[in-house]
Amino acid sequence: MKIRDVRTIGLRVPLPQIFEGGTYRITERATIITEIVTDDGVAGRMYSGDTRGDAQALVRAAIEQELKPDVIGEDLFTSERIWEKMFRHATAEPKRHTIMMDAVSAVDIAIWDAIGKVTGQPVYKLWGGYRDAVPIMAIGGYYEEGKGIAVLTDEMIWFHEQGMGGCKMKVGRYSVEEDVERFAYCRKGVDSSFKIAADSNRAWKLKDAIQFARGVRDLDLLWLEEPLQWNNEIAGMRRVREETGVAVTAGQSERSAMQIRDLVDGRAIDHCNVDASHAGGPTEWRRAAAYCALHDVQMAHHEEPQIAMHLLASVPNGGFVECFPNPARDPLWATLIVNRPHIHDGVIEVPQGPGFGLEFDPDVIARHNVDR
């Protein structure tokens, strides 16, 4: 079965308010739908990434102008060979490797959806099928204009009522003392069965990360994510782990399994949240997951629940799926998927349909299509 066509659709939705993390501001939700069509008419289709601004057009151009000629005519079931052909484009120009790896990821994801549809199997079973449901947490606790600190307690309670098993809250924008207080408010109103992690998005220097970790480690902190500025991550995160005893998570900023290897070998992480929509798709994610399993590192995944639930369900060291229950933060998760999986009691049930098992609302696509 040969691949006949590759095409993309860009989606962009302005958000009704600004959401701030430790080092960034979010004003829109953007993504790319990538479709693979075989000569038998089978279409693999999935949306992936949060490619905002000019990056979206660059990734789409890379897919359609650079990767497509290498993919057309290939046997659908030769995913490793196709991946290697695509990856050569990501090594040719180092300044463009981020754009190219997003493009490789999008095509690889669509290929796996097509493989699942051809075989009649959900992709998590093709990859190992370790479990049929996985724990799920909300991403929240953002810095928002007019949002008082006491509201954080109500936010965690609301997430719990939506079936979430926990929340990853944002830290790093205010002083360490203020963020410790914010974490304490998140903990109020929910018991320790509701897990709370903290994510600084690479905001802190080492002393601040250690201070925060020590300030919240007795408040049932699940993990501390990307606590350090990029220039001191591996050695610094190892010190955070060893000096405070808290679990550290990172990997979402990496673009290959080999970079994950370096985090693991540097004893920098307890959880690896490498993102298949940025780091080479499921083909490369599974290499990273296997290496982590050999070193007792738990797998997580940065956002993208529509893909992450299958990946995390497929391996024995899979952990939490992340999503945005607040439709103001992710209107696509709220509206694009017609058959969104059931979330209850802290878990999400993995779709049993072929491929990723998800159907998209054509009206939502038409409304937010950047080419309309």
Over the chain (372 residues), what is each successive 10-residue block's mean pLDDT?
97 95 94 97 95 92 97 97 95 83 98 98 98 98 91 96 98 96 95 96 97 96 97 96 98 97 98 98 98 98 98 98 97 97 97 98 98 88
CA 115 from chain centre, in angstroms, equals: 22
The pLDDT of residue 92 is: 74
The pLDDT of residue 341 is: 96
Q: Which CATH class name applies to 125-349?
A: alpha beta
The pLDDT of residue 372 is: 81
The two tokens of residue 6 are: 């590759």
- 197, 205 Cβ separation under 8 angstroms: no
The pLDDT of residue 91 is: 84
Distances (CA, A) of 347 to 133, 222, 297, 329, 338: 6, 16, 21, 20, 19
Selecting from 3.30.390.10, 3.30.70.270, 3.90.1640.10, 3.40.50.720, what CATH number does the domain 3-120+361-368 have?
A: 3.30.390.10
* Cα gap 44→33, rounded to integer Å: 10
Specify the domain boundaries for CATH 3.30.390.10 within the chain.
Answer: 3-120+361-368
Residue 104: closest CA among 250, 242, 362, 285: 285
Q: What is the largest CA-CA distance in the chain?
A: 60
The pLDDT of residue 95 is: 73
The pLDDT of residue 145 is: 86
* Cα gap 68→5, rounded to integer Å: 8
